[in-house]
Amino acid sequence: MRLSLGQDLRMVQKQVLAPRMIQSMEILQLPILALQERIEQEMSENPVLELQQEEPEFPEGPDEEEDRLPPDAPTEDERELVIDETKNNEDDFERLMNMDQQWPDHFEEHSRPSRSQVEEAIERKHDAMANMAARPPSLHDYLHDQLSWFDLELELRAMADRIIYNLDTNGYLQGRLEDLLGPDTTDEERALAAQALSLVQKLDPPGVGARDLRECLLLQLTPGKPYYEQLTTLISDHLEDLEHNRLPAISRRTGFSIELIQEVLEELRKLHPKPGAEFSDEPVAPVTPDVFVDQSEDGRYVVRLEDGRTPTLYISPYYRKLFQQKDTTDETREYIKRKINSAQWLIESIQQRRNTLSRVAQAIVDHQTEFLNKGPEAIEPLKMQQIADKVGVHVTTVSRAVDDKWIQTPRGIFPLKRFFCGGTVAADGEEVAWDTVRLKLQELIDNEDKQHPKSDEQLVQDLGAAGITVARRTVTKYRKAMNIPSSRQRRDWTAAAKKDA
């Protein structure tokens, strides 16, 4: 089918602008430190980029704000994250090339700042990195390195790597193996995944790659281990009975004596229920906030970005003039044009990041004012789609804007994602955030009678009395996620502590 001229042009425009939009999304997703590294990399690769050391003085027109903007600042149309696909990139380039005619004083050659300052800053950073303590290997790195010991086909190695990087911090593979393959998988692909999982489960530390506690413990057993057969029986068939200390029941069903079961338990305690946990004790990198929150005189919270950490970039007038000189070869002119376009895209992407992050952060703060006034227990239910609708962008833009970003508030430093949470409906019809439910649940358990701890059903009733309606399975789920034992275990531990005392 032959396309119309208009369709052809739209397809060409989309192909030209696709890299520009991709770069905008990438820049938006970068936290402040990563953005600084990206700028340093671009400065080293693109000679037309320059650092602006001081704010230049531009001629001021009568009440026209645009006359006071830096020459390479994006226009209002360019401030939106999604670039207008009908815009002609050639027009952008021509506009850029003519800037030195509007501000001739600013673009004189002697005004160009030295690149040596950038190089010195990069060298200082490299020296600091060289003097930093080596980071211990992560669980994923440790397992990945072990794969090099095996002579594996590429498909099997790739599948093993996929499994490794889907393990949680405890070394468990969450969910089913089939979830990594997708809906339209063949029997051969499923067999390959099973083979890869079996390979990962043979790696060190023992028990890694398990899908539940039972499998994790069984993977740590070897035929030469003391009480190997008894351990296999207890772990395979009586793990829940062991958890609740139902030794007589185990004795009746297995024929093992109580004394033998207790001896086997001593061996069981030598196994590691969380084999990957030893790798999680890494030094925590310092957090650098991207957004700061100040309280104005009228009590409103206002966000601001730390602009001082992001250098101001502009396009070198030297290369603009070199491009326009008649004796410049076509090859050189084409090279300069590509570099100027690349620099312009970067400058506009940084400005778009600033505008989008500022608007998204302000919308979040406006919604979570009670959180800032009263604390985490007052957090409001909030979804990313709500912020996207308020700001007027796609929900994926909000996701990228808050990803790996931190905000410094009067209540402390929080990840921006902290302010998004689901909720339930309270007795009065108001929504209550799940974080509020968890805090109330912790409060009820902290204040319970330790000799007569509350069951999950009683906790549901107490939450209902506080105006929070949840199901018992929800309380059980949250209690386990908060590493709070069951009422029976809490009672047994209290009795054991009292006996030891």
Give the pLDDT of residue 356: 93
Per the CB < 8 A criterion, the answer to whether 417 and 383 are in contact is: no
Q: Where are the domains of the chain?
A: 5-55+72-123+311-347, 140-200, 213-279, 424-500
Answer yes or no: CATH 3.10.20.310 is held by domain 424-500: no
Strands 406-409 and 291-295: parallel
C-alpha closest to that of 44 among 305, 334, 343: 343
Edge to edge, what strands does the sheet with 291-295 contain? 301-305, 291-295, 406-409, 412-415
Give the pLDDT of residue 425: 53
Give the model confidence (pLDDT) of 453-497 as tens digits. 888 888 888 888 877 777 888 788 778 777 788 888 787 777 766
Residue ranges, the chain, pLDDT below 50: 1-17, 54-88, 99-115, 117-118, 121-122, 125, 128-129, 131-133
Strands 291-295 and 313-315: unpaired
3 state SS of 433:
strand
Give the pLDDT of residue 210: 92
Give the pLDDT of residue 257: 92
pTM score of the predicted model: 0.50
Per the CB < 8 A criterion, the answer to whether 24 and 356 are in contact is: no
Give the model confidence (pLDDT) of 419-436 as tens digits. 887 655 555 555 566 667
Rounded CA gap, 432 and 370, in Å?
Answer: 13
